Amino acid sequence: MRIPTLALIMLLLGSVNLPGQNYRAGIASASIEPGDESFSVALSGYAGPWAGRFAVRWNVHGELNQHPKLKKKSQANPRRTVKVKGVRYQLGANDILQIDRSGRWEETAPLPGPELKSFVIQHPYVYGCNGTDTLYKYHIDNPENGWNRALYYNGQIHKVNIHKLFTHENKLYAVNESDSLFSAALIHRSPEEHSYARALAIAQDDAKTLIICMDLCGFNTDLIDEVKEAISRKTGIKPEAILINASHTHFVPGTQQWLPWAPHNRYPDVNYMEKVVKPAMIKVGVEAANQLFPAELSFGRGTTAIGRNRSNKGNPEPYDNAVDVLKVESKDGKKQAILVLTGCHPVYGTKGIRHFTISSNYPGFMRSKLEQQAQVPTMALFMQGCAGDINPIDEPEISGAQLADDVKKVLASSMTQLTGTIRHRMDSLLIPTQPWDKQKIEAFQRENSALGPQMEPERNVAWAKLMLNHYENGTMPKHMPIYIQTIDIGQWKLIGLSREVVTEYSLAIKKIWPEKLVSVAGYCNDVSSYLPAERHLRTKVYEGEGSYFWYGMPSPFPYDVLDQVVNRIKSYSN
């Protein structure tokens, strides 16, 4: 029997893989909640309170005599020599901690206030107390930063005057002046707000790309380069095809340097970074890339009303209120991933103990609601957009639930099925710096030193010292790089910008390709400052001026920085 020509053509086409119809995808998730590796963590975001935001509370255990095993552990002579990882520690006769790393005892700086009474080691940190309500922390590899707060009575936790410290089963215990016993415990929010590293890998033939979404406030490019190289070695995915985005929640441990901040915020906790964050990033990237399944991809866009502009004199505009949704569904229909991109600071929720509690904020509530209400096993990912000057209107559980509902409307709409090739590009736009001269910085330092112990003057003094060190050592940055990453998956174009990008960038970049599906994310690959527009720079609002002191930048951006970024992106052929 003869087969009609059209039917024959359709039969032959059905037997081959058409370009864009053979996507494979992989997903992976890992917790980045801090645990026993960190006795205390300083939270990111918010310089205030200047005394620090430590996600730790004291749990009450009654009298020490009621716990014979713990009482025995607490009886160690505080002046005995302790050796950990080849380093010896002891409390010297003058009540100052002494450290021996090379056969010679060296004294550390004294604690603020009363003398050191007791200490414990959690390498590379020493935790100490002096009978006050403050727990102190000392990094042996960073002695110039001295002893810093690791916990204090903040009006929300149990107040303990710490006279003795000891550890048991990798937990920190304290004893007060009346022999009452307490244990230190990190304060985590509900499971809906737990913090994760989540990865989505997408492949077509030999082309592969990887998106990693982190519940972090930010990161520096040296960390991201290290992680990308590690993933590339294990998977073969090129580093420039890997995009790493931070949700920018202000309620997770710090993971980058903040040198003009109060000393306890200047460096991230080494144990949290090395034992939790970096391994999780690499783990999810490798797992997603190596566990691919046939998948169909579709894209849709809706709107949300969870945010408003905070920088424009009370005007809630401009605000890119788009909610972009990438749906990745396995071809057998047994699992799916939903990637959600919108631009709004995860910054709300500072009342009471919440201000001192680890939380992914509204993105966590959004993910949880989408996953719980899905018909098949689902992994939801949140990608932060251009949120630099956009704050939420409501508490995180309200914003998260509202955003989840907005996403569900997109999923129920007619989404665009993606077809076509995968491409990627990594670019750097180098903006020249214009630092102050030494005389101006020295005068600025003197003026702020004279104002005494206040938050912004102390920040300004720290910034001035940083800049003067740059001059002294010949390390003053000549450029402020803006990293621009592009990932094309079929008809969808994802633009990832570094730094805290304000909403105007998203609005402007989408206008370059009005006929295409274009999403713009900030907080990608490096979060080393704000990326303002001319409006912020001319009016000298926080995003345009004050923030560059906090980030330790040598100068603000020029007025035309938005135009420079847009013109660079326009120069790309597609």
Do 137 and 221 have their domain in common? no
Do 182 and 329 have their domain in common? no
Do 208 and 167 have their domain in common? no
| Inside any domain, residue 50 | no
| Inside any domain, residue 35 | no
**pLDDT for residue 11 is more than 50:** no
pLDDT at 14: 44
Tens of pLDDT, residue by residue over 252-293, are 999 999 999 999 999 999 999 999 999 999 999 999 999 999
Do 530 and 390 have their domain in common? yes
Domain that holds residue 235: 191-427+479-570
Measuring CA to CA, which residue among 458, 397, 441, 435 is closest to residue 49?
A: 458
| Inside any domain, residue 214 | yes
Three-class SS state of 173:
strand
Tens of pLDDT, residue by residue over 329-342, are 999 999 999 999 99
The arithmetic mean of pLDDT across residues 462-478, rounded, is 98
**pLDDT for residue 19 is more than 70:** no
Do 266 and 130 have their domain in common? no
Sorted by sequence, the CB contacts under 8 Å of residue 428 that are 6+ apart come out as: 481, 482, 483, 484
Do 171 and 238 have their domain in common? no
Of the residues 139, 166, 186, the one at which a domain ends: 186
Measuring CA to CA, which residue among 101, 108, 110, 290 is closest to residue 199?
A: 290
| Inside any domain, residue 511 | yes
| Gap between the Cα atoms of 331 and 295, Å rounded | 5
Joined together, the tokens standing for residue 47 give: 């310089």
CA 208 to chain centre: 25
Burial class (CB in 10 A: 0-12, 13-18, 19+), 442: middle
| Inside any domain, residue 28 | no
| Inside any domain, residue 13 | no
pLDDT at 549: 98
Joined together, the tokens standing for residue 495 give: 């633009």
Sorted by sequence, the CB contacts under 8 Å of residue 409 that are 6+ apart come out as: 302
pLDDT at 15: 40
**pLDDT for residue 306 is more than 70:** yes
pLDDT at 102: 87
Do 500 and 561 have their domain in common? yes
Burial class (CB in 10 A: 0-12, 13-18, 19+), 457: middle
**pLDDT for residue 137 is more than 60:** yes
Phi-psi category of residue 113: left, alpha or beta, with phi > 0 → left and psi -120 to 50 → alpha: left
Of residues 276 and 77, more confidently modeled: 276
Of the residues 186, 212, 230, the one at which a domain ends: 186
- Residues 44 and 359 sit within 8 Å (Cβ to Cβ): no
**pLDDT for residue 157 is more than 80:** yes
Q: Does the N-terminal peptide bond of residue 124 adopt cis geometry, omega within 30 degrees of 0? A: yes
**pLDDT for residue 4 is more than 70:** no
- Residue 80 binned pLDDT confidence (cut-offs 50, 70, 90): confident
If you average pLDDT over every residue of the chain, what do you get?
Answer: 95
Number of domains in the chain: 3
| Inside any domain, residue 19 | no
Q: What's the CATH number where 127 sits? A: 2.130.10.10
Do 90 and 106 have their domain in common? yes
Tens of pLDDT, residue by residue over 284-295, are 999 999 999 999
Of the residues 156, 186, 216, the one at which a domain ends: 186
Sorted by sequence, the CB contacts under 8 Å of residue 244 that are 6+ apart come out as: 212, 214, 219, 224, 227, 228, 281, 524, 525
Do 377 and 511 have their domain in common? yes
Task: Lowest mean pLDDT of 26-40, 92-106, 157-171, name the range.
Answer: 92-106
- Residue 12 binned pLDDT confidence (cut-offs 50, 70, 90): very low
Do 89 and 168 have their domain in common? yes
The arithmetic mean of pLDDT across residues 366-390, rounded, is 98
- Residue 573 binned pLDDT confidence (cut-offs 50, 70, 90): confident
Do 342 and 411 have their domain in common? yes
- Residues 205 and 422 sit within 8 Å (Cβ to Cβ): no
Do 259 and 113 have their domain in common? no
| Inside any domain, residue 15 | no
Angle (CA) 6-7-13 rounded to 5° is 90
